[in-house]
Structure 1
Amino acid sequence: MKSPPVRLALAACLVFVVAGCSSTAGTSTHQSTRISAKADAALSELRGRVLSKGPHGESPAVASALTLTVDEEAQVRAKNATAAIVMHTGGDDWSQAQIAGLKYQFEKLGIKVVAVTDAAFKPDKQVSDIETVLSLKPSIIVSLPTDAVATANAYKEAAKTGAKLVFMDNVPQGMTVGEDYVSVVSSDNRGNGVVSAHLMAKAIGGKGKIGVIFHQADFFVTKQRYDGFLSTIQTDYPDVNVVEQKGIAGPDFAGDAQAAANAMLTKYPDLSAVWAVWDVPAEGVMAAARSAGRSDLVLVTEDLGKNVAISLAKGDLVKGLGAQRPFDQGVAEATLGAYGLIGKQAPPYVALDSLAVTHDNVREAWTQVYHQPPPDWLNSSYKK
């Protein structure tokens, strides 16, 4: 049996340990609250702003500034024009929303869509698609080049036919705005990267080890996302440690990202979070996390696709993302095609601001992004 002095000493030690733990917990809670407030303030300041510059350093014009008068719309309809949509890929929600926005606006302007192609992220396939489309003699071509160098000659040949070219996101090398193409339209991809950095910092309390999965290609917009995320997380949140970065080149972006995430989780069992460059690679990260039993892993990404939306709605692995506005982007691209038809001066670069999406606003964000009510599967997935 311990003597009273020993018991008193042990009790004093226990009080000291508990007080120390309480102090540590209090400090951690304080830091998390401070980081959350800092991230929220930054996100609020970003709302409605565009951070990206164009492919050649152009300042952005806002999509809402693109207008056609009643007389100009009549001039467009009188052209009996046609349009071809030459996609880098058609197999994701973003691409389908772009196509929907394009078709909506082209129909509104009396322009017939004669072709929609899907290059499956393969430059040689896209070159072939362009050659096939040119046989239809479209008045307008709207396209996202898979590779700025490998596809350049094909687009230059398209420009020589007199077709009015409007680009999504990326511009082929050696082409001049106002001469070879009308304009380029993009979401604020740098802004989306910045948004996702603040969302990640908030989700992990501003500290921890993270991995980054980026697009290993000469692709203007994905570079902007990566640069925006990395510079913000490293500059604004010094207690977040980027311990691993892996590039993926596709075309199996989900599979490549899963392999990259598996390697990260094996090498760093205490990894707090992963950033993925868009929603399809994020799906691969989700698969890796589930396989490793890492239900606590925080995942932040870009683009509001179906599977990441479900994860957000459930309060699962995905904690936030920076969303583009692809339907509105398609409307802007079709409008610029009409500008080209009637010789109206177009801004060289048009951008749409980023949208921060979390569990709380995922259903409202779906409507903003796709111009449709939240689907039943999203509403049924949502956990309050």
Structure 2
Amino acid sequence: MLNRRALLGSATAFALALGLNAPAFADPDSALAALQETVLSKGPNGEEPTAPSTVVLSDEEIAKIKEMGASAAIVMHYGGNDWARAQINGLQTQFAAMGIEVIAITDAGFKPEKQVSDLETIMAQSPDIIVSIPTDPTATAAAYRAASAAGAKLVFMDNVPTGFVAGTDFVSVVSADNYGNGVAAAHLMAKALGPDGGDIGLVFHAADFFVTKQRYDAFKATIASDYPNIKIVDEQGIGGPDFSGDAEKAAGAMLTANPSIKGIWAVWDVPAEGVISAARAAGRDDLIITTVDLGENVAISMAQGGFIKGLGAQRPYDAGVVEAKLAGYALLGKEAPAFVALPALPVSKDNLLDAWKQVYSTEATDNIKSMMQ
């Protein structure tokens, strides 16, 4: 997979780099198709992306891991969405295939102090492996360093603690192409708005969180470079932990102050649910919403032809599988890539059911299927 992020300042240059005719990049459909052939994100420390297909364990290697009787803990930043559940499912499935016992799964509720406490509690059980996503890269760094010093092999999702170096302080970090998913959400917004464009607002994550900042930067850069007929007229940050409620308040204020707004981008699916609530309260049935992450509630909205017109999806189940395999690398002393990234997946109603299978490795829920009829 090639990294083209540096070219995003010029849509024409990016199109040419991918072998497209420059005018084709002005078409959202062409741009969305191109996204699935590349990875735009770099790692938290500027690492170039490695393809997940290169992370493999032979039958002999898996047999060796099974003989170790290793244990693992999964330390989440936040567990209240479909993305987190899919990550955990992928991890548990692959750990089971490797004979690794999962001894703890924690949810910090996006509170750094809770995650530090979770890590301290878990270390009393001496896990061989910790797979985690830091809520705050600075506030949690000392706790992760203590875990590493005690012998736990660390594999990260999306974000890494401040000052940590791959291959020394941790094994690897695995992520979706969050920059690419922000780009996808921008193109999907442009497609839904149509050739006339219009005013839009943004609901972003007001925290020092690497992947959500990537989405925000990517969305803004793509609108600015590719769609001069679309104007960002308002932005509101949310901090949580009530991300849906905070987003509802932010979007409500935005719609009141800017009645010209035709669309709102939300940083992930749970805040997008809050934007839906705000749109309903404001009587704005015509509002267009795009986001990142394919949760069930936004999928139902999309299936109904409702507010959600498109989103950039991560592949959390597959990411969990890769993270577990990288933990196996560490147990074997096998050299691991510093940063593994999975391509963005643009999703609209047209490909919703197929996309759900790709994201969660299972059929769409009955609720989603019934709304597609």
Q: What band does the TM-score fall into relative to the shorter chain?
A: over 0.9
Other-structure match for 1:17: none
Which letter does structure 1 place at the counterpart of 2:218? G
Other-structure match for 1:176: 165
What is the number of equivalent residue pairs in this alignment? 350
How much has 1:36 moved relative to structure 2?
10
Asked whether the 8 Å contact 2:309–2:349 carries over to 1, the reply is: yes
Which letter does structure 2 place at the counterpart of 1:56? N
How much has 1:48 moved relative to structure 2?
2.8
For 1:272, which of 242, 258, 262 is the aligned residue?
262
Asked whether the 8 Å contact 1:35–1:202 carries over to 2, the reply is: no
User: Any idea what SS the aligned residue of 1:250 has?
Assistant: coil
User: Any idea what SS the aligned residue of 2:27 has?
Assistant: helix
Matches within 5 A, 1:77-116: 77-116=66-105
Other-structure match for 1:189: 178
Asked whether the 8 Å contact 2:24–2:31 carries over to 1, the reply is: no
Question: Are 1:318 and 2:308 an aligned pair?
Answer: yes
Task: Give the whole-Å Cα distance in 2 for the aligned partners of 1:268 and 1:119.
Answer: 36
Question: Are 1:156 and 2:156 an aligned pair?
Answer: no
Other-structure match for 2:252: 262
Other-structure match for 1:231: 221
Task: Give the whole-Å Cα distance in 2 for the aligned partners of 1:211 and 1:245.
Answer: 6
Other-structure match for 1:292: 282
Task: Give the whole-Å Cα distance in 2 for the aligned partners of 1:214 and 1:50.
Answer: 22
Task: Give the whole-Å Cα distance in 2 for the aligned partners of 1:168 and 1:313.
Answer: 29
Which letter does structure 1 place at the counterpart of 2:194? G
Asked whether the 8 Å contact 2:130–2:152 carries over to 1, the reply is: yes
Question: Are 1:360 and 2:369 an aligned pair?
Answer: no
Task: Give the whole-Å Cα distance in 1 for the aligned partners of 2:311 and 2:25.
Answer: 16
How much has 1:70 moved relative to structure 2?
1.9
How much has 1:35 moved relative to structure 2?
9.6
Asked whether the 8 Å contact 1:36–1:202 carries over to 2, the reply is: no
Task: Give the whole-Å Cα distance in 1 for the aligned partners of 2:188 and 2:245.
Answer: 25
For 2:134, which of 131, 140, 145 is the aligned residue?
145
Q: Kindly tell me: are residues 109 and 151 of structure 1, through their superposed partners in 2, closer, same or farther at Cα, counting changes over 3 Å?
A: same
Other-structure match for 1:337: 327
Other-structure match for 2:272: 282
Task: Give the whole-Å Cα distance in 1 for the aligned partners of 2:272 and 2:101.
Answer: 36
Asked whether the 8 Å contact 2:25–2:31 carries over to 1, the reply is: no
Task: Give the whole-Å Cα distance in 1 for the aligned partners of 2:130 and 2:60.
Answer: 23
How much has 1:37 moved relative to structure 2?
6.9
Q: Which moved more, 1:35-44 or 1:362-371?
A: 35-44
Task: Give the whole-Å Cα distance in 2 for the aligned partners of 1:177 and 1:64.
Answer: 19
Asked whether the 8 Å contact 1:35–1:201 carries over to 2, the reply is: no
Asked whether the 8 Å contact 1:329–1:352 carries over to 2, the reply is: yes
Which runs of no fewer than 5 residues in structure 1 stay unpaired? 1-33
Question: Are 1:71 and 2:35 an aligned pair?
Answer: no
Which letter does structure 1 place at the counterpart of 2:112? P
User: Any idea what SS the aligned residue of 1:61 has?
Assistant: coil
Structure 1 segments (4+ residues) deviating >3 Å: 34-37
Task: Give the whole-Å Cα distance in 2 for the aligned partners of 1:111 and 1:48.
Answer: 34
Q: What is the TM-score when the length of structure 2 is the normalising length?
A: 0.92
Which runs of no fewer than 5 residues in structure 2 stay unpaired? 1-22
Other-structure match for 2:37: 48
Task: Give the whole-Å Cα distance in 2 for the aligned partners of 1:204 and 1:80.
Answer: 55
How much has 1:148 moved relative to structure 2?
0.3
Question: Are 1:59 and 2:48 an aligned pair?
Answer: yes
User: Any idea what SS the aligned residue of 1:312 has?
Assistant: helix
Q: Which moved more, 1:71-80 or 1:162-171?
A: 71-80
For 1:327, which of 317, 320, 332 is the aligned residue?
317
